[in-house]
Amino acid sequence: MPKKILSITEAAEYVGVFSLTLRNWEKRGLIKAFRTPGGHRRFKKSELDRIMGVEKESNRLKETIEKLEEINSKNCNKKELSNLITELKDISEL
């Protein structure tokens, strides 16, 4: 059974960021952590999965915007534009 509670080192490795990044995200309220009696940060895997989903969708949105800008500069391919509009609608429903 996979661990559901991770240390900051394990959490950083799981998410693919530095431990300092997790600390900063926690300070900014982007992610929740809890403390052990000894004061060590612990992260729920479900919370890490949530933040990774947000990051993934943010990257997907940025890529779609870049594609739209490229199509706009090429005087618009209607099929590509239609596909990107559909993709943006999918992203917005999440």
Cα distance between residue 87 and residue 65, in whole Å: 10
Hey, what amino acid is at 87?
E
The reported pTM is: 0.56
Domains of the chain: 5-92 (1.10.1660.10)
Q: Note the pLDDT tens digit of each residue in 42-66.
A: 999 888 888 877 666 767 777 777 7
Contact (CB, 8 A) for 44 and 31: no
Q: What is the mean pLDDT of the chain?
A: 82
Q: Note the pLDDT tens digit of each residue in 66-78.
A: 777 777 677 666 7
